[in-house]
Amino acid sequence: MTQLEKAKNKEITNEVELVARKENLEPSVISELIAQGRVVILKNNIRENVIPTAIGEGLSVKVNATVGTSNKNTAIKSEIEKAELAEMTEVDTLTDLSTGKGVDLTRKKIINSITTPMGSVPFLQTIKEVTEKTHDLSNINKENILSNIEKHCKDGIDFITLHAGITKANVYLYDESRRKTGLISRCGSVLNWWIKRTENENPMYENFDEILDILKKYDVVLSLGNAYRAGCIHDFADRAQISEFMVNSELVQRARKEGVQVMVEGGGHMPFSKIADYTKTIKELTAYAPLYMLGPIVTDIGIGYDNVTAAIGAAEAGLYGTDFISVITSSEYREYPNLEELRNGIIISKLTAHGIDVSRGLKSAIERDELMADAKKTFNTKEQRMHTIDRSIF
């Protein structure tokens, strides 16, 4: 049985006990929120070297960082170093987006090198493999998609991103839009093209029940991707983007019905003034599933400083229900981050998450600020170092 099914049966699991201690809440409170679908626990049931982490309503805001190889950056060692650095910087989760050589080996080595929950996007591997084998992405099919989902789960991945919200219906809504930057999601771009090219339904939507069977077997959390997110302020909230959320709201209910834990992704570029309504609407549409926000980035002119523009947006989104935020580095849109850029991005994101926790009245966050204030008052640098986010400055 999955964590969701056990919670519905009023069973307090070891994982619930662990996260309850971490969150300073009663296990029964955590269990009830899981049963309602408002909290998820990231912990593949076959992975042993992982510390279970909970995301959702009433909990501290969590931070995710991404690592992974590409065709230009094929060094597995450097991505393991980034993963280890991220863990030392106390990031809450990591996501592997590898598309370079040795994707399977990279994933396994990173999983084995850390104890934080690990996410992935199996469809990226499908795109890579079909391109290399046939040079024709129209050969993407149910079999190669489901095969990679199973492989990632079997390797110990704790949560996967799935872009099942793109369908034949909203592809044509996208065609009617007048976007300046098109689709910035690689998976979204490929699926959008594939549906129009083959005139078939998205295999991830059409075979959603079979995918749920795989995820349920390993108790892997499903993260419903936001492929139609806007790549600039001009493109925010067109009909395609809203339609994808409507489909995802349907998929949330289907996943919960089958006992699969699920969260929803949002974000992209949007005006600051729209963030509150956007966040509240997604939470309501998806029956208060945990919300994972990519940004939102509040201006298009912050190249080189998108770690800052994303933090501004995430802070606002956090006040209205965002539970999980993504590390955006200063090299966003330009290149893969180096170790220092990743470290800085994590620190900024963790400061953002902590600020949200304080504003929400989270007791542990407020106490930490009060301890820092006391340490500053007495010029106690040892105590200041204990309570600051970046201890290396002392």
User: What's the DSSP call for residue 220?
Assistant: P
For the stretch 28-39, pLDDT in tens is 999 999 999 999
CATH code for the structural domain at 46-361: 3.20.20.540
Q: What is the mean pLDDT of residues 78-103?
A: 91
Give dist(CA 275, CA 288) in Å, integer: 16
391 — pLDDT class (breaks 50, 70, 90): confident
Output the pTM of the full model.
0.94
In this predicted structure, the answer to whether residue 363 has a pLDDT above a threshold of 90 is yes
User: What's the DSSP call for residue 297?
Assistant: E
In this predicted structure, the answer to whether residue 124 has a pLDDT above a threshold of 90 is yes
What is the three-class DSSP state of 380?
coil
Specify the pLDDT at position 293: 96
- Residues pairing with 63 in the sheet: 325
Q: What is the mean pLDDT of residues 54-80?
A: 89
370 — pLDDT class (breaks 50, 70, 90): very high
Specify the pLDDT at position 1: 92
For the stretch 231-276, pLDDT in tens is 999 999 889 999 999 999 999 999 999 999 999 999 999 999 999 9
3-state secondary structure 61-93: CEEEEEECCCCCCCCHHHHHHHHHHHHHCCCCE
337 — pLDDT class (breaks 50, 70, 90): confident
* Mean pLDDT score across all residues of the chain: 94
Q: What is the mean pLDDT of residues 73-86?
A: 86
In this predicted structure, the answer to whether residue 71 has a pLDDT above a threshold of 90 is no
Specify the pLDDT at position 394: 74
In this predicted structure, the answer to whether residue 73 has a pLDDT above a threshold of 80 is no
Give dist(CA 44, CA 216) in Å, integer: 10
User: What's the DSSP call for residue 230?
Assistant: B
Query: Rounded to 5, what percent of the chain is helix, strand, coil?
Result: 55, 10, 35
Specify the pLDDT at position 38: 98
Is residue 201 within 8 Å of 169, Cβ to Cβ?
no
Domain boundaries, the chain: 46-361
User: Cα-flanking dihedrals φ and ψ of residue 14, to 5°?
Assistant: -60, -40
Q: What is the mean pLDDT of residues 204-227?
A: 97
Q: Which residue has the tokens 């991505």?
A: 79
Q: Does 214 or 172 have the greater pLDDT score?
A: 214
Give dist(CA 44, CA 257) in Å, integer: 19
For the stretch 140-192, pLDDT in tens is 999 999 999 999 999 999 999 999 999 998 998 988 888 999 999 999 999 99
In this predicted structure, the answer to whether residue 280 has a pLDDT above a threshold of 90 is yes
- Residues pairing with 230 in the sheet: 268
Sign of CA dihedral 235, 238, 240, 243: positive
Q: What is the mean pLDDT of residues 326-354?
A: 90
In this predicted structure, the answer to whether residue 333 has a pLDDT above a threshold of 80 is no
